Amino acid sequence: MSLNYNQAYNREIRKWMLKVSEYTENLAKQDLKRRFCPVCGSRNSTDFANNGFLDYDRCEDCNLVFMNPSLDGNNIQDGFKGDDHLLMEYFQIIIKFKDNPPVTKVNPRKDNTIKDIYRFKKSGKLLDVGCSAGDFLHKTRFFYQVEGVEVNPYTAAVAARHFPVHQDYLSDLSLDPDYDIVTLNQILYGVPDPVDLFKDILKILKDDGILYVNTPNSDSYAMHLYQGKINHLYGYTTQNVFNRKSLEKLAKLSGFEIKFFRTEWLDIYLSDLMQFFDNGDEFIHKRNIQLTDYERRMRIEDAMAKRSNFDLKDRGNYLVAVLDKQ
Ligand SMILES: [Zn+2]
């Protein structure tokens, strides 16, 4: 969930998040099932965090952090498809506050979301899996021939005004194996079976094709500080939080290898930190709009963090990786 300085947007999102919290409380009372690590299958896992209602374990073998016991994977999939009124409400907020599509070309060597792909591929066919309303496609269309995959009918319809959008799960589509690039922007954390997803991607990539992943990082300073109150674990939609080691394991098991890896964004702000320690019950990571002047302070702090350009090594709150076929 990105930082946003729009007060009206933040107010709606915080309200929505409080509803999610209530909903999660009820979900957590239902029949949850204990499971083995969804990446490596190991039975050995230890407590990692509790988000107030749901427990997350860390696999002792591959390091994956995953919901355990877990909600039924099929229910989660159906939720993304539109069965879940709360997810639909979220998508409606996203659309309501959506900026106009960018009409100017960014510098692909500098733009944070494109530079890691552009380093390896300067042209070709790109498929954004989980493209939502198509923001990433609007940005990348200047360099690549772009298409999207999106299961949610509401956001898929918005993206489809501009781009070819396949409206189903990748596993249920029969796409030709002619993609140069497949991208997963903030998708991997919600996928019940990541090995199957990576295998499906492997099938549609050309031999020299690449897979780009951007997803929460369980080794981050923010994760260790906020634990169960980290944005990544809020609510019920997060199935997995990867780090370098668990992503390497996932790659190995599904026929990929990591070509490039980095992490980004400290994601810890003083305004948040004060709330976390002084008034923890009210704390929501990056959505503490109840504080005076919150958006202005966050904007200043964010600008300072960007200027400092600090090397976080493996401790940023998101990991970014480019993979290719083994
Ligand atoms: Zn594991």
Count: domains in the chain: 1
pTM > 0.85: yes
The whole-angstrom separation of Cα 182 and Cα 153 is 21
Domain of residue 28, CATH code? 3.40.50.150
Q: 309 is in which domain, residue-wise?
A: 7-325
pLDDT at res. 2: 66
Taking the centre of ligand 1 as the mean of its atom positions, its distance from the CA of residue 43, in whole angstroms, is 8
Per-residue exposure over 199-222, b if at least 16 CB sit within 10 Å of its own CB, e if not = ebbbebbeeebbbbbbbbbbbbbb
Residue 1 included in any domain? no
State the distance from the centre of ligand 1 to the C-alpha of 242, rounded, in angstroms. Answer: 10
pLDDT at 102 over 80: no
Angle subtended at Cα 135 by Cα 133 and Cα 136, rounded to the nearest 5 degrees:
120
Tokens for 97, please give them: 């506050």
CA of 113 to the centre of ligand 1 (A): 28
How many other C-beta atoms are found inside a 10 Å radius of the C-beta of residue 262? 16
Question: Mean pLDDT, the chain, as a whole number?
Answer: 94
Could you identify the residue written with the tokens 């100017």?
A: 104
Tell me the torsion sign for CA atoms 100, 101, 105, 106: positive
Indicate whether 250 belongs to any domain.
Answer: yes
Q: How far is the CA of 47 from the centre of ligand 1 (A)?
A: 14
Structure confidence by residue, pLDDT tens digits, 41-100: 999 999 999 999 999 999 999 999 999 999 887 777 777 777 788 888 988 898 888 877
Question: Edge to edge, what strands does the sheet with 318-325 contain?
Answer: 165-166, 145-149, 125-129, 179-185, 205-216, 318-325, 256-264
C-alpha 44 – ligand 1 centre gap (Å): 8
Q: Evaluate the CA torsion angle 138, 215, 14, 29 in order and state its sign.
A: positive
User: Model confidence over 131-176: pLDDT tens digits?
Assistant: 999 999 999 999 999 999 999 998 999 999 999 999 999 999 999 9
Q: Does the residue 135 lie in any domain?
A: yes
The alpha carbon of 166 is separated from its chain's Cα centroid by a whole number of angstroms, namely 20
Residue 192 Cα to ligand 1 middle (Å): 14
| pLDDT (0 to 100) of residue 1 | 55
Distances (CA, A) of 208 to 6, 38, 69, 200, 259: 41, 27, 38, 16, 12
User: What's residue 306's pLDDT?
Assistant: 87
What is the structure's pLDDT at 85? 87
CA 245 / ligand 1 centre spacing (Å): 10
Nearest-angstrom CA–CA distance, 205 and 199 = 10
Quick check: 103 pLDDT over 80? no
Please compute the mean of the pLDDT values over residues 245-253 and round it to a whole number: 98
**179: β partners:** 205
Residue 18 falls inside a structural domain: yes
- What tokens does 260 get? 């490039």
Residue 2 located in a structural domain: no
Q: How far is CA 187 from the centre of its chain?
A: 5
From the CA of 215, how far away is ligand 1's center (Å)? 17
Max CA separation in the chain (angstroms): 54
Q: How far is the CA of 66 from the centre of ligand 1 (A)?
A: 9
Residue 310 has pLDDT above 90, yes or no: no
Is 196 a member of any domain? Answer: yes
Q: Rounded to the nearest whole angstrom, what is the distance from the C-alpha of residue 58 to the centroid of ligand 1?
A: 8
